[in-house]
Structure 1
Amino acid sequence: MDYTSLTDATLASDPVLMNNPLRYERYVELFAEGSWWFDVCRWKAGAAEAAFHQTTSVGQIIWNEDIDYAMPIPVSEIESNPNMQQNFGY
């Protein structure tokens, strides 16, 4: 049996991961642990991810750079600080 092929480099099909070995390693290590969405936001890779997943799934993914990176601020935080405003879109 030829085990040398197991060490050949493999390319990620996702363009966000393809050219960045650190991102790919993080993706592999933390697969299915719930950190993917936060990584996409941290890396500002939402548009590229949406375009990739649109080619691999059914349906249209619309990515809005203005609101899709932000999450809602809890109402209790807004009520405790009158200077705080809710993120756009929430």
Structure 2
Amino acid sequence: MEISGIISAIVIGIVIGVLGRLVVPGRQRIGLLLTIVVGIVAALAGTLLAARFGLAETRGVDWAEWGVQTALAAVGVVALDRAAGGRRRR
């Protein structure tokens, strides 16, 4: 992967992390940095999943790939939020 690919993955990851956080209802107890990390991981994993299932090669905007990435980010935000909630209650 070239440096431009890494930079674009980070930028897309930030957007995906924010979208994933917006999809989850209520207040989340994780910070912005963790949201960005979740978004970057979700963007990379979503791209791999979309390529695996043939959703990455479409004309125009890859809405299916973005949907997979956003869903993975939402799952990651919920998982970290629940983990953070469990730690703070003790």
Higher-helix-fraction structure: 2
Which has the higher Rg, Structure 1 or Structure 2? 1
TM bin, normalised by shorter chain, reads under 0.3
Structure 1 length normalisation: TM-score? 0.25
Structure possessing the higher relative contact order (Cα contacts under 8 Å, 6 or more residues apart)? 2
